[in-house]
Amino acid sequence: MSSRHSRIRALALATLLLPLAAQAAPAPRKPGSQTPLTHRQIIDRANNLMTAFSSEIALQQGKGSDALAAYMRLFRRTNDPAVAERAVDIALATDVRLAEQVLEHWQAVEPKPSIEQKRMRWVVATAKGDIATVRAGLPEILAQTDRQRMRTVFLRMSQLALYHPEAADVQTARLVHQAAGRFPGLAEAAITDAIYSAHANRTADANAALRRLSRLDSDIRPITSITLRLIAQRQPEVLEYFFRHADSRHLSPMWQNLQVETLIAAKREEEAYRLLQNMLAKTPDADLYIQAGILSVRRKEPVATTVNYFDKAYLHGTQQQKSRASLLAAMRLIEDNNIAESRNWLNRASAPEAQFDKHILEARIAETEKNWPAAEDALLRAESIVSAGRSNAIFNADDLLVAHLRIAREQPPAEALNSIRSLYRRYSDNSAPPAMIAIILEQRAILYADRLQQPEKAVADLKQAQELVPKNPDILNSLGYTMLSLPNPDLAQARRYIEQALQRRPNSPEIQDSMGWVLFKQGQPQAALPYLQRAHAKLPEADIAAHLGEVLWTLGRKNEAIVIWQAAQRKGGDKPILQETLQRLNVTLPSSGGKASSESNSSQ
């Protein structure tokens, strides 16, 4: 660690320990002052100070539980609100429920809440998303004058709006805007003002906050980047308004880059392209060259043109920018199946923060060569890297999991099953998010159902996945549809799952297909038909064609069924479900126009 970072940490520790230090140091005596501290009291206070200091050291070493336990012991000895406040802060970094337990203990010791206790109750409410409590205490919280405390308050308010946009109503946005105005030099105040004003459609206030932020944070820190991307998603017109009235010549390269991103997101790619060319003519900035390369891909320009932009970014960039340009060039070359050149570019990505992305792309190259052991090895190297907090990341943990599963699907069934089981154990042991575990279970279920012909095991996995993510429409649909292949399916329950999926994603052709098929299985071919027709119009794949054709055949519309099946077959529709349907109905499709042969065809 650099000496600068060491100094920052030392200053942070000193700030935290100031209240206890004041207790430990004997105050100078004045005439008529209180009785001086006894030797025992001085020793006790010094011990308290050392306990707090040791706790902070433990916290910096990643021993959060030890630090919290020590602070709680210290609070029981001192009843000091500053100690309790720090204990809640440490607990909150681990689990909001743990922080609530610390607060309950604090309230038992201090029934009449101190300012510190009120403040921390409000902080915990923001972490819980308890909007009513946050709003009730907001005027008092925002009235604080301490700059460091207000920095924390603004950050908490920003995080609340990120996860609970409904918190940013007009009244709250007005209060935040007024408070931010008292701290014109605080970037966190401008960030929070921009978020809440944008959510509340206070465009002028949001624009003013963004102007202030562009001056205060020219390099765009991660929290600023998150804020701007949130505004771009929720209120893109706010950023468009800001850049339309901003002079790009006075913006830093990072903000110029964001301006280009905003134009691209607004589908104004030609305008973005012209702006980029003008900027690059004046300032050969690596980030702008990278953005030009990305835009070149979107414009479907020749590979050589795209790679040329990344080459210039590499020439002008820092180590981090060189690595990002190298990764993006390698990605484009992999898409073009130029594996040798993609390897050359990948070898240039030397920045430590680029290694996760580099290993993902190494796996992709090995995958194109069908070198499955090398692909798995590259993904395991990626898995060993902590990817959280990396700036300029191209891939994330979800992409890593998808790559693992994609490679597993390419293997023979038994090997694929072993690979997915190994993934499940690793991700479960590492306390992965429920959504990730659910994806693994869903993919194992597909393997059981489609390749191993074990629908009972598939349904068991999908039920477990559905318990982890109860409202996921893909898993609800997969569960309902797979239940239909059981020997004695519960059609009513299968339909309920599919209906829940359809409610959440009514325009999905896959779910519409499932809905039509379960209705057909329940003996309602006429009710099934419109679902299957809509699904086939959007996604004319063999599976859906097989279902639609069978319903039409059952309704006596056999010529229409034949046309549907023939079209699927011409598209390479040789999937098992289509062939199984034709065999079960004893239908042989003609190679070109004409009638199909069938035992029942003579009745048509």
- Position 168 scores a pLDDT of 86
Spatial distance between the Cα atoms of 299 and 269, rounded to a whole number of angstroms: 8
> Which residue, 516, 520, 485, is CA-closest to 502?
516
> Which residue, 79, 97, 146, 159, is CA-closest to 119?
146
List alpha helices for 170-202, DSSP H: 170-181, 187-199
- Copy the structure tokens of residue 399: 């992409």
Spatial distance between the Cα atoms of 324 and 304, rounded to a whole number of angstroms: 18
Q: Which fold has domain 510-588?
A: 1.25.40
Q: How many angstroms separate the Cα of 194 from the Cα of each of 113, 169, 197, 209, 222?
A: 33, 13, 5, 5, 15
Spatial distance between the Cα atoms of 113 and 252, rounded to a whole number of angstroms: 47
Other beta carbons within 10 Å of 500: 19
Residue 594, pLDDT above cutoff 60: no
Residue 13, pLDDT above cutoff 80: no
More confident residue, 410 or 26: 410
Spatial distance between the Cα atoms of 188 and 222, rounded to a whole number of angstroms: 12
Spatial distance between the Cα atoms of 224 and 190, rounded to a whole number of angstroms: 9
Residue 181, pLDDT above cutoff 80: yes
- Copy the structure tokens of residue 435: 């959504």
How much is the average pLDDT of 53-58?
A: 72
Other beta carbons within 10 Å of 357: 29
Spatial distance between the Cα atoms of 218 and 224, rounded to a whole number of angstroms: 10
State what percent of residues in the chain have pLDDT above 70.
83
pLDDT digits over 483-542, tens only?
999 999 999 999 999 999 999 999 999 999 999 999 999 999 999 999 999 999 999 999
Residue 247, pLDDT above cutoff 70: no
Give burial (CB, 10 Å; 0-12/13-18/19+) of 185. exposed
State what percent of residues in the chain have pLDDT above 90.
42
Where does the pLDDT of residue 299 fall: very low under 50, low under 70, confident under 90, or very high at 90 and above?
A: confident
How much is the average pLDDT of 471-485?
A: 95
Q: Quick one: DSSP state of residue 235?
A: -
Return the C-alpha torsion angle 208, 213, 215, 217, nearest 10: -170
Query: If you write DSSP's letter for every residue of 301-341 in order, what string do you get?
Result: --HHHHHHHHHHHHHH--HHHHHHHHHHHHHHHHHTT-HHH
Among the residue ranges 141-145, 273-277, 404-408, the one predicted with the least confidence is 273-277
More confident residue, 409 or 249: 409
Contact of 296 with 276, CB cutoff 8 Å:
no
Contacts of 217 (CB under 8 A, 6+ apart): 187, 190, 224
Residue 410, pLDDT above cutoff 90: no
- Position 571 scores a pLDDT of 83
Residue 239, pLDDT above cutoff 80: no
Sign for the CA dihedral angle at 14, 11, 148, 193 comes to negative
> Which residue, 356, 308, 365, 371, is CA-closest to 336?
365
pLDDT digits over 438-460, tens only?
999 999 999 999 899 999 999 99
- Position 212 scores a pLDDT of 85
- Position 38 scores a pLDDT of 72
Say whether 510-588 and 247-347 share the same fold.
Answer: yes
More confident residue, 16 or 433: 433
Contact of 447 with 413, CB cutoff 8 Å:
yes
pLDDT digits over 72-129, tens only?
888 888 888 888 888 888 888 778 888 888 889 898 988 998 888 888 899 899 988 8
Residue 56, pLDDT above cutoff 90: no
Please state, rounded to an integer, the average pLDDT across all residues of the chain.
83
Spatial distance between the Cα atoms of 444 and 97, rounded to a whole number of angstroms: 34
pLDDT digits over 538-554, tens only?
999 999 999 999 999 99
Spatial distance between the Cα atoms of 567 and 546, rounded to a whole number of angstroms: 11
Domain assignments of the chain as residue spans, ordered by start: 247-347, 510-588
- Position 549 scores a pLDDT of 95
Best mean pLDDT range from 32-41, 261-270, 508-517: 508-517
How much is the average pLDDT of 244-257?
A: 69
Mapping DSSP to helix (H, G, I), strand (E, B) and coil, where does residue 63 land?
A: coil
- Copy the structure tokens of residue 391: 């700036």
More confident residue, 577 or 64: 577
How much is the average pLDDT of 382-405?
A: 76
Pairing of strands 587-588, 597-598: antiparallel
Contacts of 530 (CB under 8 A, 6+ apart): 516
- Position 210 scores a pLDDT of 83
Nearest 5 degrees, angle CA 269-CA 270-CA 274?
Answer: 115
pLDDT digits over 310-352, tens only?
999 999 999 999 999 999 999 999 999 999 999 999 999 999 8
Spatial distance between the Cα atoms of 514 and 220, rounded to a whole number of angstroms: 46
Amino acid in the structure at residue 260: V
> Which residue, 444, 379, 438, is CA-closest to 416?
444
How much is the average pLDDT of 140-147?
A: 90
Residue 295, pLDDT above cutoff 70: yes
> Which residue, 515, 440, 502, 495, is CA-closest to 471?
502
Residue indicated by tokens 């970094």? 93
Contact of 348 with 361, CB cutoff 8 Å:
no
How much is the average pLDDT of 591-602?
A: 52
Q: What is the CATH number of domain 247-347?
A: 1.25.40.10
> Which residue, 352, 351, 418, 407, is CA-closest to 378?
407
